[in-house]
Amino acid sequence: MRLALCQFNPLVGDLRGNGVLLLADCQRAAACGADLVVAPELALWGYPARDLLLRPSLRQLQGQVLDELAAALPTGLGLLLGIADPLPDGNQPDLSNAAALVEAGRWQVVARKQLLPSYDVFDERRYFRSGSGPCLLEIERQGRLWSLGLTLCEDLWVEERIAGHRLAGADPIAALQPLKPDLLLNLSASPFSQGKAALRQQLAGAAARRLGCPVVYVNQVGGNDELVFDGASFVVDASGAICQQLPCSQTALAYWDWAPAPPGSEAPLPPPAVLPGPEEQLFRALVLGVADYARKCGFQRALLGLSGGIDSALVAVIACAALGPGAVQALLMPSPYSSSGSRSDAEALAARLGFGQQTVAITALMGAFDGALTPALGAAPAGLTAENLQSRIRGTLLMALANQGGQLVLSTGNKSELAVGYCTLYGDMNGGLAVIGDLYKTSVFQLCAWLDSDAARACRRDLGLPEAGELIGAAIRLKPPSAELRPDQRDSDSLPDYALLDPLLQAYIEQHRSPEDLGPELNGMDPALAQRVYGLLRRAEFKRRQAAPVLKVSPRAFGSGWRMPIAAGP
């Protein structure tokens, strides 16, 4: 049996458009001799569809699109895809997260998801009821009856020793064991986070060994709001070894010819494919997130403030890879405190990448604000007030240009800054998308070092970036971080060194720790400093609630998976 793995990029809520994309892939697959096309979880809706799932008109449209697919599907080809299946008993929730088999002239629900995640960014229990298993599909192809075990995304995540967590409830893999399926299929919509692609392969390998059969894993690809789905679909054989690997962060239609080996013989396997390294996976995910956020929200061009610092430089590189340098514009907004090196570094970066840049100095605007506010304040703005005014002037200029030109403003703050509130509401936080808001400052340095290394050349070439020489540049990478809002300012004047700060933040944010239970992990750090950082994290919650959507690339990002109260006790 020839399977086609359909790693496609849906637009959330565009059921008819997604159906058209699926049909086109099915027609290509049929022309290549495929027997069954396997598409991701909730493929018609796009994941996550959130409250669009509650709209009766869209539910009705889903049935129409499935009927249209069944009528148009080439004879002899099956399409297995994820749908939202209405449950007619009047109880709530009234949907199941299901898989449907579409064949020429008909379609039917063949599996329902059993483990419904409601942690991190997931909220499936708001919309779905759990199915009961096991889910087994028997189909006849090539003169043989094939027994296919079916699971949807979280149903595969039952090995706590691998995943680090396990939802309470059924074990869909254990339920399939006595049925001895020939093959296990998993339809997924699993968002990217660093290290997750390898984790999925380990989970599939464990399921393959338990069932004694290959596992086909098909994942959604594309950016949907703050989530990036990296695809990276694959097939493992019965021993858990990779025998087919699809690309990361790209649409793909790949084929796997499944011919079980007779007892005592060995079936030849294609050369094992490998995933790219962690830095490339991360960079490609960020590029895809920006490209799809712009495209799916109707933006063709992007604008960012370019300071000559490493954060804005990285965002500029990502934007050029995502949209092309001709669609990227930067605004330089020097103040009396901006160093000549920062200006020249920013201009050199724009020249290397080939994007447009303009300069609007803010010195005169700062003077006008001082003059306007002095009567009300009794003195000219000073200290933090004056610094925030500079940031807000810049934010206002960016939004004005974006309004006039119809551009998407990309904010350039990193996760360390968002965590401790080292950012200004209505200033540097302005924008439609926070591109690196889930990268700690130390991670920004690491990714930029990789981009400037020979190891990134092939990826740079593939994404249309200059292949030779530095992209970010040593002058930007090696300078001490500074917001340049006062003379000789350094980030270290207000914050601990990032090498100390970021591990603390990681413990607080991703491990749910508090200063009191860090203990020996402080490694000699002043406990008062750990407490201060924790206090900054808590007090900055009101800022994060008003921030632009943050592209999620870590296990726990600020956004829909971060649900902290603003007003709360210590």
What gap in Å lies between CA 412 and CA 304, rounded to an integer?
A: 8
For residue 213, which amino acid is it?
A: C
**Which residues have C-beta within 8 Å of that of residue 373, sequence separation ≥ 6?**
380, 381
Question: Which structural domain, as residue segments, surrounds residue 347?
Answer: 282-490
Q: How many CA atoms lie within 13 A of 26 on its CB side?
A: 27
pLDDT for 535 beyond 70: yes
| Overall average pLDDT of the 398-425 stretch | 97
According to the model, what pLDDT value does residue 262 have? 54
Distances (CA, A) of 94 to 46, 47, 512: 19, 18, 34
Q: Is the bond leading into 88 cis (omega within 30 degrees of zero)?
A: no
pLDDT for 387 beyond 50: yes
3-state secondary structure 387-425: HHHHHHHHHHHHHHHHHHHCCEEEECCCHHHHHHCCCCC
Strand, coil or helix: 437: coil
| Active-site residue (options: 6, 26, 103, 113) | 113
What gap in Å lies between CA 49 and CA 473, rounded to an integer?
A: 41
According to the model, what pLDDT value does residue 379 have? 96
* Residue 135 designated active-site: no
Q: 315 with 213, same domain?
A: no
Q: 251 with 286, same domain?
A: no
According to the model, what pLDDT value does residue 516 have? 87
Among 490, 514, 549, identify where a domain stops: 490
Strand order in the sheet with 136-141: 136-141, 144-152, 183-188, 215-219, 234-236, 242-245
In a domain, 274, yes or no: no
| Overall average pLDDT of the 234-252 stretch | 95
- Provide the pLDDT confidence category of residue 119 given band limits of 50, 70 and 90: very high
Name the least confident of 196-205, 286-295, 520-529.
520-529
The pLDDT tens digits of the residues spanning 436-451 come to 999 999 999 999 999 9
Distances (CA, A) of 304 to 99, 156, 347, 446, 465: 42, 41, 14, 22, 18
Two tokens at 289?
């997130």
Q: 242 with 325, same domain?
A: no
According to the model, what pLDDT value does residue 350 have? 97
The pLDDT tens digits of the residues spanning 164-178 come to 889 999 999 999 999
Give, as one character, the DSSP assignment of residue 539: H
In a domain, 561, yes or no: no
Q: Is the bond leading into 336 cis (omega within 30 degrees of zero)?
A: no
pTM of this prediction?
0.95
Name the least confident of 64-68, 339-343, 522-526.
522-526
- Provide the pLDDT confidence category of residue 545 given band limits of 50, 70 and 90: very high
According to the model, what pLDDT value does residue 267 have? 45
- Please give the helix or strand (H or E) that residue 36 lies within, else none: strand 36-38
Angle between helices 441-451 and 498-510 (to 10 degrees): 110
Q: Is the bond leading into 48 cis (omega within 30 degrees of zero)?
A: yes
| Overall average pLDDT of the 496-512 stretch | 93
Higher-pLDDT residue of 268, 458? 458
- Provide the pLDDT confidence category of residue 155 given band limits of 50, 70 and 90: very high
Q: Write down the number of H helices and E strands in the chain.
A: 17, 19
Q: 112 with 165, same domain?
A: yes
Positive or negative, the CA dihedral 250, 297, 447, 418 is negative
Q: 250 with 300, same domain?
A: no
Give, as one character, the DSSP assignment of residue 58: H
Q: 334 with 253, same domain?
A: no
The pLDDT tens digits of the residues spanning 52-70 come to 999 999 999 999 999 999 9
In a domain, 170, yes or no: yes
Percent of the chain with pLDDT over 70: 96
Q: 216 with 361, same domain?
A: no
In a domain, 506, yes or no: no
What gap in Å lies between CA 116 and CA 128, rounded to an integer?
A: 8
Strand, coil or helix: 538: helix
Two tokens at 291?
């490209």
In a domain, 59, yes or no: yes
Among 461, 490, 519, identify where a domain stops: 490
| Overall average pLDDT of the 403-430 stretch | 96
According to the model, what pLDDT value does residue 142 have? 82
The pLDDT tens digits of the residues spanning 2-34 come to 999 999 999 999 999 999 999 999 999 999 999
Q: 7 with 133, same domain?
A: yes
Strand, coil or helix: 278: helix
- The DSSP bridge partners found for residue 37 are 4, 79
Q: 114 with 253, same domain?
A: yes
Strand, coil or helix: 82: strand
| Overall average pLDDT of the 273-290 stretch | 94
Burial string for 27-48 (b: 16+ CB within 10 Å, else e) reads eebbeeebbbbbbbbbbbbbbb
| Active-site residue (options: 153, 248, 448, 459) | 153
In a domain, 486, yes or no: yes
In a domain, 361, yes or no: yes
In 3D, which of 251, 325, 229 has the Cα closest to residue 21? 251
| Active-site residue (options: 6, 41, 103, 417) | 41
Q: 354 with 454, same domain?
A: yes
* Residue 41 designated active-site: yes
According to the model, what pLDDT value does residue 265 have? 45
pLDDT for 522 beyond 80: no
What gap in Å lies between CA 107 and CA 73, rounded to an integer?
A: 11
The pLDDT tens digits of the residues spanning 246-277 come to 999 999 999 999 876 555 444 445 555 688 99
According to the model, what pLDDT value does residue 520 have? 66
Q: 251 with 300, same domain?
A: no
| Overall average pLDDT of the 409-436 stretch | 97
Distances (CA, A) of 12 to 21, 319, 356, 360, 459: 13, 22, 32, 38, 28
DSSP string covering 154-198: GGG---HHHHS---SS--HHHHHGGG--SEEEEEE--B--TTHHH
pLDDT for 321 beyond 90: yes
Domain holding 176: CATH number? 3.60.110.10
- Please give the helix or strand (H or E) that residue 79 lies within, else none: strand 78-86
Percent of the chain with pLDDT over 90: 88
According to the model, what pLDDT value does residue 388 have? 95
Contact 440, 491 (CB under 8 A): no
Total domains, the chain: 2
In a domain, 236, yes or no: yes
The β-bridge relationship of strands 144-152 and 183-188 is parallel
Among 470, 490, 510, identify where a domain stops: 490
Domain holding 303: CATH number? 3.40.50.620
What gap in Å lies between CA 411 and CA 417, rounded to an integer?
A: 12
Q: 356 with 441, same domain?
A: yes
Rg of the chain's alpha carbons, rounded to an integer? 26
Phi, psi of 256, deg, nearest 5: -135, 120
* Residue 113 designated active-site: yes
On average, the pLDDT of the chain sits at 94
The pLDDT tens digits of the residues spanning 348-368 come to 999 999 999 999 999 999 999
| Overall average pLDDT of the 299-305 stretch | 97
